[in-house]
Amino acid sequence: MGAGFSAVFPHRLNGTEIAAMAEKLAGSSLPVLIGHIKEIQYNNPHVSCSWCWEREQRYTRESNYTKKNLFDSIEEELECRGTLLLKGPAGIDLLFSRHMCELQTGSRWVYVLSNPEYRESIRAVCCEIAGVLDAQFAVYMADSCCASDYLYDEHSMEYYLSSLHKRFGPPAKSLDVLLLTQERTRSSEGYFIDFFQQRD
């Protein structure tokens, strides 16, 4: 199937601010994100849904053995579990830890690298999400490089960047460099840091 595209952002949101993210995104006026979602849903109506948290649930005797949330609130669940997944429309998910957020779009890594128009569209989506998270940059890489593991292990962005540097060396100078590496070696290794304040 191939590796998927992953974008990881730092954030300093508290539990209450993270808990409000589903409602914030549902009521937001992020034109690039909304346009991206509509385009995907037009061609794939089966991926239509609204922003909602994937909560841990269990069957309880008190609820007549129907499923009930294991935790009373998003904040409590994040505190106990360390991560929470916000599922969105068009297959877009946001995985939150206390320090980082990973955007998963369902897009193939090689497609993002090799299709300039789509690549710029995804970068614009990431720029808008960075604005919501108050992040200055995002790290792009293939999901086969296990970015999610760093969130599940509750590492900081500093630790994540240090680990990437140890594994792959410095970040690629451009996404075109990663495309050339992909074509030459058939490997999805390497990463790129997109600094949004420097974009045109």
For residue 120, the model assigns a pLDDT of: 94
Distance between CA atoms of residues 14 and 42, nearest Å: 35
For residue 26, the model assigns a pLDDT of: 83
Distance between CA atoms of residues 133 and 63, nearest Å: 36
Q: What average pLDDT values come out for the chain (200 residues) when binned by 10 residues?
A: 86 93 83 87 74 78 70 88 91 93 91 93 94 95 86 93 94 92 77 78
Q: pLDDT by residue (tens digit) across 53-82?
A: 987 776 666 666 667 777 888 899 888 889
Global pTM reads 0.87
Residue type (1 letter), 165: H
For the chain, the average pLDDT equals 87
For residue 200, the model assigns a pLDDT of: 43
